[in-house]
Amino acid sequence: GIQVEQSPPDLILQEGANSTLRCNFSDSVNNLQWFHQNPWGQLINLFYIPSGTKQNGRLSATTVATERYSLLYISSSQTTDSGVYFCAVLTQGGSEKLVFGKGTKLTVNP
């Protein structure tokens, strides 16, 4: 099956710093989403981005489907950005299940 790898696994930043999270996937995908898991466990949808670039406030994401990777950019990080960020993909022509990476744990210190 498709493999999804996220890097780095852990990231510690000072408030105000910028960061880039990466997601590599091993096969063509129909759907790619970035999620932020809050301390209570809920997965908050950040971007639905099978290709191209999107921006939402301090967050932006780019997916280069032909090269099988996606990037999540966080600018001017805040302590509330702390948590685990997951990339999840839906394979083409296959079962409709999201395959998740192991996540990047982000800690933003004040």
Partner 1 sequence: KAGVTQTPRYLIKTRGQQVTLSCSPISGHRSVSWYQQTPGQGLQFLFEYFSETQRNKGNFPGRFSGRQFSNSRSEMNVSTLELGDSALYLCASSFGPNYGYTFGSGTRLTVV
At 91, list the tokens: 């394979």
Interface with partner 1 in residues 36-55 (CB under 8 A) = 40-45, 48
Q: Give the contacts of 97 (CB within 8 A, at least 6 positions apart).
A: 90
Give least dist CB 13 to partner 1, A. 23
Output the smallest distance, CB 90 to partner 1, in A: 6
* Residue appearing with tokens 């996220």: 6
Residue from 39, 56, 66, 96 touching partner 1 (CB under 8 A): that is: 96
CB 68 within 8 A of CB 89: no
What single-letter DSSP state applies at residue 37? E
> Which range touches partner 1 (CB under 8 A), out of 10-18, 55-63, 74-82, 85-93?
85-93
**59 counts as binding partner 1 under rule CB under 8 A:** no
Q: DSSP class of residue 92? A: T
